[in-house]
A and B are shown apart, each in its own frame.
Chain A
Amino acid sequence: MTTATPSPVAADTVANAAATPDREQPYAALGLKPEEYASIREILGRRPTSGELAMYSVMWSEHCSYKSSKPYLRQFGSKTTEKMRRNLMVGMGENAGVVDVGNGWAVTFKIESHNHPSYIEPFQGAATGVGGIVRDIISMGARPVAVMDALRFGDIDDPDTARVVHGVVSGISFYGNCLGLPNIGGETYFDSVYQANPLVNALAVGVLRHEDLHLANARGVGNKVVLFGARTGGDGIGGASILASDSFSEGGPTKRPAVQVGDPFAEKVLIECCLELFQQELVEGIQDLGAAGISCATSELASNGDGGMFIELENVLLRDPTLTAEEILMSESQERMMAIVRPEKLDGFLAVVTKWDVETSVLGEVTDTGRLIINWHGEEIVNVEPRTVAVDGPVYNRPVSYPTWIDALNADSASALARPTTPEELREQVFRLLGSANLADKRWITNQYDTYVLGNTALSFPDDGGMVRVDEESGLGFAVATDANGRYCQLDPYHGAQLALAEAFRNVAVTGATPVAVSDCLNFGSPENPEVMWQFSRAVEGLADGCMAMEIPVTGGNVSFYNQTGDVPIHPTPVVAVLGTIDDVAKRIPSGWQDDGNNIYLLGVTREELDGSAWAGVIHDHLGGTPPTVDLAAELRLADLIAAANEENIISSAHDLADGGLAQAVVESVLRFGVGARIWLGEIIERDGIDAATALFSESTGRVIVSVPREDDVKFRGLCEGRDYPALRIGVTDSQDTLEIQDVFTATIDELRAAHRSPLPERFGATIG
């Protein structure tokens, strides 16, 4: 344990604030509105000290307080039934949700945005996005075991996109790999709507034994408040209030100093240190320091506990001794944790942190005063009721208005677009889609991520979901997938959000796992724009209704507003992460064909649903109409069918149909292991009353292609008939190194692979390996 160097910088004390009520305060520069400032004065009965102002400004920011989204997010609770809670150990409101997965094991997961920092400083922004979400997982008492990222970049051909892509990918690679966490999936999209506002949503998953569950609360008067991990520096000051809660404006001041800098080595040591602290039962409560740093940790721990806390801020170990008290309160320096420790366990606590060379200081203790009091060199600079900072912040019922443009957009259906009819045209368009930015192979990115570390990865990219073994004895594991289609959500945010849920659900189901819980990262434009608020309200309602229909609870997540450049918001992008469980990962289902002679079945029906599709976007640069029909009941039946077939071990692969439709799914199934196939479209066209282009490119939901060994064919057909789920044999895998779509075209696997793999390396540099 080291002691901090006392800093001589004088701070604005509570006494001084009372004595100088009329002093001008820079609340606007800190992101507070005049009425919010007035409200703080009313709560305190005086003007805030500069330290208190710093705390309120960060904690009342959109990013920390959810002041615009709170009224809507309540639906996730109110629409969660008792039945949905059956496996839920911890729901929304804690650092991350926790799900019971059986045998005494639990899994915790959460997805969170780090969008704005990743545009300003892509490498550090993305790296610390990983670091932050991983600390949320540690805070629950869990060992982090996997990460994945949902990424949205600008137009792949825009000159600035390469800067952001290189920075973000190498930041994730640097931090995640150095932390020793396998990166098991995620998604990458390119669209000009994200040009100056990329989305970097980081997900982490942790596992724990039931008895290791920890929560963020400060209970037990006299218990010590301990800060440990990296030292506090000047990085990330005002990150939450200024960056995450404001839009980028052209020509504005550079905001780079508000981006944090990450040290994954420090975090790796912190993980091992925390796990040892948990194992020895040395902490009562724990909270990570993320957005709003010490302001957030102290006020949240106190609010969730006995309500009082006393802190001597000069005990904070500093990287930069010139920091002021306000800066220390606001700093978002990474790799820090705050623990509540019983006095008699402090020596044991210090022994563990010393073993791991983790610097630690005791800041203060839990009190019963009901006040959070912070002293700076003996003078009181903060004296607040913690709930007023952390919980009872402002709530806005922002104006909502139906977008003026949306009826015209919905009327502009893709059905009017020219469709390919000749075999030559169909072939050409299959290849254009295959080689388009969003459908192309992403190994240029994923080859930079470690998938092997920890030795439990059962599935990762390019499979539909990532899967990790939890229990090495039984093989018990989880699968997770993230999805969102911003184009669909632009057309219809309610159904767009449900489509994201349905796709993530399906992606988990095709791995052989049973979906059990949801985390979401809701990326939208400015909440001060009533049309954005309409999009947000519709998306949340759609997602909450969808989760209720599918009977899986939302366990946590994050809202990211102000994703826009100037007045132009991004497409609404509610990224939905679905977690599933599997009793033995040996039963996992791969996404591609491994053997020749398997029958290929298309499950589900194909409708003329090309609005918002990849086909409309890539071939016609078109976005309009209404997104595909959502049938959540059918999705549930489909998932049950796959689970039943897998239980009987009669399917050898399953791959979900989504962007790019059947054509893309078939090509991906071929390329997964390099096994060719012969496909016929005639029966789909006849049964569903559609044309060849629709059969190939429609994005109707509730569809999966599975391969079935010949000997299991009768059994499989019987299963589909018994469950009354539409199934059509559309082909057979073969030993030819080709994909033949009968009467349309034949392509070699090499041709397909070249078209699929070239788009990213052409822009970003060679793929290694």
Chain B
Amino acid sequence: MRIGVITFPGSLDDRDAIRAVAIAGATPVALWHGEHDLQGVDAIILPGGFSYGDYLRAGAIASHAPIMAEVISAADRGVPVLGICNGFQMLAEARLVPGAHTRNAHQQFIRRDQRMRVENVRTDWTNQFTAGQEITIPLKNADGRFVADADTLARIEDNGQVVFRYIGVNPNGSLNDIAGVANERGNVVGLMPHPEHATEPGFGPDTELAMASGVDGLPFFESVIASFAAAV
């Protein structure tokens, strides 16, 4: 399976996403924002970072990049798309997932190992988790507060589009403690925490067992590989 990772000007965690894809056993493909070529990849990751310096609004300028036209049409065809942090903001700006993001409620950039619960295990990116599984994934953002109007919020809650919910601490003031959401079809998922930073033992969050040994992010990538295998 080939998974594309798009680099935008100001993308920061693109190399990490590429590494995580390889660790999970798929082939990473580096894609460039200024092109229209998805190189026939089977899934797409919009990585974290500060594309265009978060100018205007986080993710707003990148969501109009040439390659995003291809991402939107691929998403419509059912190609799995994962937006991480800044990638989540791009997905929201491109209207591929519901909601929007504002400055963290406490106004600071925050980096922490975040507990969250997997609320929906039927998406292309979460099918290898168990329902209600609690995981720890690094989070780091300045504009991570998920917001939506009351109707949207009710709708996505009813539809099961809320895929991840913060537990313990709500790190940014997100409504309903929402950490990640999906589109209705479940092939497009966006979340604030960074699963790619919890895929390699020794470089992830601390666990009860050992320092930096957390790999709760691996099932994201294993899920999309499983989805692909099931579809072929």
Contact = CB atoms under 8 A, between A and B. Distances in A.
Interface in A436-491: 447-458, 469, 472
A585 B169 contact: no
A586 B202 contact: yes
B39 to A, nearest CB: 18
B45 to A, nearest CB: 14
Contacts of B212: 458
Interface string A747-769: 00000000000000000011011
> For this complex, into which size category does the number of interface residues on chain B fall?
35 or more
In the complex, which of the residues B52, B53, B211 has the most CB atoms of chain A within 10 Å of its own CB atom?
B211
Interface stretch (A82-90, A264-272, A407-415): A264-272
A457 B112 CA distance: 14
A455 B140 contact: no
B10 A448 contact: no
Nearest to B105: A768
Top 3 closest A-B pairs, CB basis? A265-B53, A180-B12, A769-B112
B134 interface: no
Contacts of B12: 179-180, 268, 453
A177 B53 CA distance: 11
A769 B142 contact: no
B50 A768 contact: no
Nearest to B14: A180
A673 interface: yes
Interface in A713-730: none
> For this complex, into which size category does the number of interface residues on chain A fall?
35 or more
A768 B200 contact: no
A320 interface: no
Interface string B197-216: 10010110010001110000
Interface in B52-105: 52-55, 104
B119 interface: no
Given A447-B111, A449-B111, A455-B16, A268 B210 contact: no
- Summarize B's interface: helix, strand, loop or mixed: loop
B117 interface: no
Contacts of A356: 9
A170 interface: yes
Contact of A457 (B52, B54, B196, B203): B203
Interface in B138-163: 138, 140, 142
A448 B138 CA distance: 13
Given A265-B52, A472-B19, 15 more contacts: A170-B109, A177-B50, A178-B53, A265-B54, A268-B9, A269-B9, A269-B10, A451-B111, A452-B16, A452-B197, A453-B13, A455-B19, A455-B203, A469-B203, A769-B171
A269 B142 CA distance: 20
Interface string A87-119: 000000000000000000000000000000000
Given A265-B55, A452-B138, A458-B202, A447 B10 contact: no
A529 interface: no
Contacts of B200: 455
A768 B197 contact: no
Contact of B196 (A447, A451, A455): A455
B66 to A, nearest CB: 13
Contacts of A180: 12-13, 49-50
B203 A458 contact: yes
A449 B112 CA distance: 10
A173 interface: yes
